[in-house]
Structure 1
């Protein structure tokens, strides 16, 4: 059985988009005949080795400030890979994981796949270009990598502009478990809201994700008072946690109809209880929360950044607005809150989109095809 080593900076219990994708895809890759392991950095309080959902997870000590920690990760990963003897190395991000993968390839000849996690400002390529000798490092990377996995047209354009040929760019999006993330009948929403201590009536707007600056949840709070005046029964639910949580809670103190959940283990129930999903980010890769909301059958209002325009066709399966445009955000919310028929139509089309193009099984199938092509069979 061929072996795939996944290299990533952090892993479960750290909750991030890339980490969740590996955790959800790994069992499906194993079911398709690949042994999968994860090589990540050790964090205080976690085991150096454990098996999560049938997948071995190795956590490497990376002490010191960032540059030193990166070197520790690279060299420790190479040492571990020399013992694991994978057939394919799949690095997630083009910094330390990709560097470790390329050095291992030079030593042992294993093919290397690098997944670009995000494009644009704050994206992987942007960060690398701003680092010391960044362009030179990218040239070395592009020569050595066998295939880049790109999750958005934005990333694909960035790689093309840097001279990466099309045969080295595999367009494989993130995926969602469409069986778990499924709609519930309207009759189940009221008891579900009661269970979650949510208001039983009114339109429930939900944001689900990390509370970080680039998510622009503060913009959502800035426009919400006007939305609430126009729709006094509407409620805004902010699901998740992050470094901005305390500041956002303070910002919302005088705003009616806003509720924070903090960290949750059951994001699915909050999506199923909601009526509208909103994602006002300034930058994205391809949001897991967006795909989950579509799969649950929620109408979506999202900014046209990252991979979102590849998924959402405005007025067909969701609403797209420009990033950092508070007027567009407020208008979009009001348009969707005022029209239940429109919300239902967008939600139905969104569910169809998730089933057709973004199921985890289809993503696993495309990844295994890429692995086999690199292995020559």
Structure 2
């Protein structure tokens, strides 16, 4: 099988698609596939070596027209060579002949994300409401129409959750062309052997009830609701690992809570794993998650989760088994009340131990080998 990977980013640049491709492409190559990749690249990464397992052509991010023309020219021979094309961005300038089917991986709604970034819609706009109601912005509505048309033109779509399959079929893509293949953590992912007490000792944390939240600090991540819930549950400490646009405002608004809210900023992944092991719970009260790696990492660490019932979260967290699901709302007071009730349940005698004992229940659905085999079948069947 000759596989052409078309992407907007690639390792060593940060980002979900870059990390995903770095993990899966060597597995495809080990099974005898020939792989060539094409990507845009920052100048600092233009000299990054290709893997022995596959070739990478990097187009520098110069002026828009120039880089799109260069990408289009570079794609022509790759399209003619390929048996199948696997896309990881929409709107890539692919040109040339050939009859290779095109499969795209969709991990979110680029129209919603871009409309927020451009200021066309409010940063608190609910992603599910955005799918079905008019936004009031002509630019955002045009972007929605373009995104739907781009995906409908594909021969197949891969999504990491049933939630995203429902979203994509809402764009007019026939359900039979959308395949759910759950994301997974790679088998070489570091697994700590420290106990919770040992992890706390290494981090210098005392034994008070501790909740950890991890990720980019963005309006829809719900960190403000977690902070508000602390005011209703005075015995709990919240540790926030991550950086983002709303971090300064959150620090200011939580100043009265003192050391009960700890902001770590951006933390290396190995350190995040240590904090996950030390925490009683990992919380993710997000208004949108396609399929959260944070939840998978927490459960692999043996730490139960408290998560919103939005997006793909209910596909990972089984309420009362390996964590707790909390009703999501954008009303801050109601959200704080929901979370405070969940925290009260979470720290009831025996609850944490019972949930932690089940942390690995259902994790076989997120096996790395299953993700590789499922993806290869989807590409072969195209």
Specify which of 73, 81, 103 is matched with residue 113 of structure 1. 103
Q: Using a 3 Å threshold, how does the CA distance of structure 1 residues 62 and 161 change in structure 2: closer, same or farther?
A: same
Asked if structure 1 preserves the Cα contact closer than 8 Å seen for 2:280 and 2:303, the reply is: yes
Residue in 1 aligned with 2:124? none
1:202 & 1:14 partners in 2: Cα distance? 38
Specify which of 71, 83, 86 is matched with residue 87 of structure 1. 83
Residue in 2 aligned with 1:174? 183
SS in 2 for 1:282: coil
Instruction: Give CA-to-partner distance per residue, 1:71-117, whole Å, 9 cap, x none.
Output: 65554333223344343221124x324xx3xx44x622222111111
2:256 & 2:146 partners in 1: Cα distance? 51
1:136 & 1:121 partners in 2: Cα distance? 12
Residue in 2 aligned with 1:96? 91
Specify which of 362, 373, 378 is matched with residue 365 of structure 1. 373
Establish whether residue 318 from structure 1 lines up as the match of residue 332 from structure 2: no
Residue in 2 aligned with 1:192? 199
Q: Using a 3 Å threshold, how does the CA distance of structure 1 residues 198 and 285 change in structure 2: closer, same or farther?
A: farther
Unaligned runs of 5+ in 1: none
Q: CA shift at 1:12, angstroms?
A: 3.9
Q: CA shift at 1:273, angstroms?
A: 2.3
SS in 2 for 1:277: strand
1:47 & 1:373 partners in 2: Cα distance? 34
Asked if structure 2 preserves the Cα contact closer than 8 Å seen for 1:275 and 1:299, the reply is: yes
Residue in 1 aligned with 2:253? 251
Q: CA shift at 1:147, angstroms?
A: 0.9
Q: CA shift at 1:303, angstroms?
A: 0.7
SS in 2 for 1:79: helix
Specify which of 144, 161, 168 is matched with residue 170 of structure 2. 161
Q: CA shift at 1:216, angstroms?
A: 1.7
Asked if structure 2 preserves the Cα contact closer than 8 Å seen for 1:336 and 1:343, the reply is: yes
SS in 2 for 1:107: coil
Asked if structure 1 preserves the Cα contact closer than 8 Å seen for 2:104 and 2:151, the reply is: no
Greater Cα shift, 33-42 or 266-275: 33-42
Greater Cα shift, 82-91 or 312-321: 82-91
Residue in 1 aligned with 2:121? none
Residue in 2 aligned with 1:299? 304
Q: Using a 3 Å threshold, how does the CA distance of structure 1 residues 60 and 299 change in structure 2: closer, same or farther?
A: same
Residue in 2 aligned with 1:130? 140
The RMSD of aligned alpha carbons is 3.1
2:3 & 2:69 partners in 1: Cα distance? 19
Specify which of 333, 354, 366 is matched with residue 345 of structure 1. 354
Greater Cα shift, 128-137 or 289-298: 128-137
2:197 & 2:209 partners in 1: Cα distance? 12
Residue in 2 aligned with 1:25? 24
SS in 1 for 2:231: helix
Q: Using a 3 Å threshold, how does the CA distance of structure 1 residues 296 and 237 change in structure 2: closer, same or farther?
A: same
Q: CA shift at 1:279, angstroms?
A: 0.2
Q: Using a 3 Å threshold, how does the CA distance of structure 1 residues 245 and 173 change in structure 2: closer, same or farther?
A: same
Q: CA shift at 1:140, angstroms?
A: 5.6
Instruction: Give CA-to-partner distance per residue, 1:289-336, whole Å, 9 cap, x none.
Output: 111112222111111111112222221222111223221112112221
Instruction: Give CA-to-partner distance per residue, 1:155-212, whole Å, 9 cap, x none.
Output: 22233334422321111121123663546453xx3333333x3414223311111112
Q: Using a 3 Å threshold, how does the CA distance of structure 1 residues 37 and 205 change in structure 2: closer, same or farther?
A: farther
1:129 & 1:141 partners in 2: Cα distance? 19
SS in 1 for 2:256: coil
Residue in 1 aligned with 2:50? 51
Query: How many pairs were matched up?
Result: 352
1:55 & 1:117 partners in 2: Cα distance? 24
Give TM-score, length-normalised by structure 1.
0.81
Asked if structure 1 preserves the Cα contact closer than 8 Å seen for 2:9 and 2:18, the reply is: yes
Unaligned runs of 5+ in 2: 114-126, 330-334
Instruction: Give CA-to-partner distance per residue, 1:251-296, whole Å, 9 cap, x none.
Output: 3333232222222222222222222110011111111111111222
